Structure 1
Amino acid sequence: MARIPRRPAELVGQVFFARDAVRRGLLTKNDLRSSAWRQVLHNVYADSRIEITHLTRCRAAASWLFPPGCTLAGRSAVAMLGGPTPGPHEPVEVLVEPASRFGPLTGLLIHVSGWRDGDVQRVDGMPVTTGIRTCWDLACWLDTVEAVALIDALLHRHAVHADDLTVYLARRRNQRGARRFAEALSLVDAGAESLPESRLRVRLVRAGLPRPVTQHVVTRNGQFVARVDLAWPDLKVAVEYDGIWHHDPEQFHRDRQRLNHLLGDDWLVLHVTSKRMREDFDGVLTEIRSALRSRHSSH
């Protein structure tokens, strides 16, 4: 007969530090190997029946693994600040001061760098880089397209303000990473409403296209007609990123009906899917360039 795993009441539905649970006599090391428990990070376990998210792992790392001189950073900081959250199996990003000897540990992505006063704050009691410092780190650690997309998200959620980023750049103008940060700031747009939309916009601009307007509202006789992801309003060319409708057919039909209303106003609407973004971006670029050229020639 299979042995029923032990589930002490104190640990049901909880994330806990295994060493403490063993020291208190709640579990043995052998108990931790049973199906009742799931390892979250080094020496951190959870009731196997609860959902483990990236934020769960961030809190676990900060609560039980961080010595002094560590803070949540990068994409993990974005999530803690209310931005897009990495998947549950993505590593928790940690910024570590050079004097700290923390790491490496499975499940953590550790970056070594110092920080200034004001670069770290407390969020739910945990150390997290501020929105401004997080944006700097994103620009330094990620490719420009991904960094801009995440900075867009923080700007859109008012977790950081563009003017403050400009001031921060001026303070660090001659430091390593300033050039990457300046490039990212030249491309950000607080109007972007999704990571894919931001990635598309940045790739188009870096390919030499004129910068589009994000979330442009089209009106007719002062009445709302439609809102489009990206637009060149003077040429009446719009680009829509089609992603969500795969999971919501009703949303797809609403969006198509909304965009059909633009046809009477002589708008040209192009659609880009995630598949084409991955596999045929050159084709997407050619189509948009052609649309812009044709409208230029007709104006």
Structure 2
Amino acid sequence: MPPALPRFAGVLEHRSVWISVGMHPRDLASDSFTTVFPGYLTPTAFPCSLNAMGWVLQNRALPGSMPSHATAALLWGLPLPARIEGGIGMLPVAEQLGDGTLVVPAVPTGTALGDDATLPVLHCLLPRGGRTRIGRGAVVHRGGPVATSQVGKLHLPVQGEVLRQLGTVLRPWDLVAVVEAMIGPQSRYPGQSVDTLHAVLASNPGRAGTPAARRALGRALPDVRSPGETVMRLVIEAVGLPQPVPNLRVSDPRDRSARYIDLAWEDVRLGLEYDGDGHRTTKGQWRRDEERRDQLAGLGWTLVRANGDDLRRPLRILLRIRDALARHGAVVPDAARIRRRLAAVVATHPAARMDR
């Protein structure tokens, strides 16, 4: 009788180790196990994390490699569009462990490996020369040495290097969202700024991705709390509407408390609240959001609400914002001009979070 698999939840080991703990080769060849890298398997019903995949790749399956590109971004807790690399951006980031390390499950919430989900393919960086292929489970990139940082048990490229790597694969506005996640108030690993990121890029200015990363740094703002807010702000600006202020602080003189508006036009007291998926997960979150909106309305603010569907197809929300700004006396372009500009924007596909 093989050992019960739940006790090995999250384990990723070589087949020889699995056999040493009582597994039979036919168990390892069955649907009960999934091969992650050649010779390394994890229980299908209780799969390993992305962190474990990165550690095994770095130390055993391909020694000397380092997670890079989208893989490193996830391990840094950075947001990626869901529509790249088979939905890798949908992988959730769990709470930090005792040492502050983020844990990234290898399958999206609510899915099962082997049923409706597959393991992500890891990206890794190797020095030039020597072995270049692993067989399965990873894409190997060759390159010169990069600055690194210890994140839990993993060595990762520093965030500035990850930004450069993502500059080769992400759309321009999605790359701005990564920068704003690095420098913003919701940063999972704070301490970055536009200046520190520029300094990393300056160390190897000729490397691929550097121009795109620099352009993203030039458009980034420091107080943005979500990638949806980033892309929404950029499309608002692109169609010629007045530029909003992200996360404007509004003081309530009645109780001296403060409220924040995702995107605000302070001179006309109009705000746009972007509701990501997290706003719909619990009744408690919904009630807190509604209470905050009621308080802001009591201070004379008019709020427009948007969600992920509005971001994917933004014409409707853009026209609502235009009409609301016009009612409050702001100078805005006419609807026909917004339609023309949006069509031009969509043609360039600046963000994977927007429909083509």
TM range (shorter): 0.7 to 0.9
Q: CA deviation at 1:210?
A: 4.4
Aligned residue number for residue 114 of structure 2: none
Does 1:63 pair with 2:59? Answer: yes
Partners of 2:19 and 2:284 in 1: CA distance:
54
- Report 1:1-299 matches (<5 A): 4=1, 6-7=2-3, 12-13=8-9, 15-21=11-17, 27-34=23-30, 36-68=32-64, 70-84=65-79, 86=89, 87=91, 88=106, 89-103=119-133, 105-116=135-146, 119-156=147-184, 157=187, 158-173=190-205, 176-221=208-253, 223-224=256-257, 226-243=259-276, 244-278=278-312, 280-297=313-330
- Counterpart of 1:99, as a letter, is G
Mapped to 2, the partners of 1:208 and 1:66 lie a distance apart of 50
Amino acid at match of 1:264: G
Deviation readout 1:213-259 (Å, 9 max, x if unpaired)? 22222113372252211212233221111232322123223212211
Distance (whole Å) between structure 1 residues aligned to residue 32 and residue 268 of structure 2: 61
**What is the deviation of 1:48?**
4.3
Deviations 1:275-295 (A, max 9, x none): 2222x2122222223433443
Amino acid at match of 2:14: A
1:143, distance to aligned residue in structure 2 (A) = 1.0
Equivalent position amino acid for 1:153 in 2: A
Hey, what's the Cα distance between the residues in 2 that align with 1:221 and 1:144? Answer: 40
C-alpha separation between the residues in 2 aligned to 1:124 and 1:226? 35
Three-state SS of the structure 2 residue aligned to 1:257 is helix
Distance 1:187 1:295 in 2: 28
**Partners in 1 of 2:284 and 2:298 — Cα distance?**
23
Q: Check conservation: 1:216, 1:229, Cα contact below 8 A.
A: yes
With normalisation by structure 1, the TM-score equals 0.81
CA distance in 2, matches of 1:176, 1:123: 24
Equivalent residue of 1:234, what SS?
helix
> How many residues in Structure 1 have an aligned counterpart in Structure 2?
289
- Out of 128-137 and 143-152, give the one that drifted further: 143-152
* 1:67 and 1:102 in contact (8 A); partners too: no
Aligned residues of 2:69 and 2:124 also touching (Cα < 8 A): yes
Pairwise CA distance, 1:105: 4.1
State the Cα distance separating 1:170 from its structure 2 match.
Answer: 4.0
Instruction: Give yes or no for contact 2:54–2:154 (8 Å, CA) kept in 1.
Output: no
Secondary structure in 1 matching 2:25: coil
Q: Aligned letter for 2:162?
A: T
Tell me the C-alpha RMSD between the 2 structures: 3.1
* Structure 1 gaps, min length 5: none
1: CA distance between counterparts of 2:176 and 2:299?
32
Give the AA of the match of 1:93.
Answer: H
Q: CA deviation at 1:184?
A: 0.7
2:98 corresponding residue in structure 1: none
SS of corresponding position for 1:261 = helix
The structure whose RCO (Cα within 8 Å, separation 6+) is larger is 2
What's the % identity of the aligned pairs? Answer: 20
Q: What secondary structure does 2:305 align onto?
A: strand
CA distance in 2, matches of 1:33, 1:253: 49
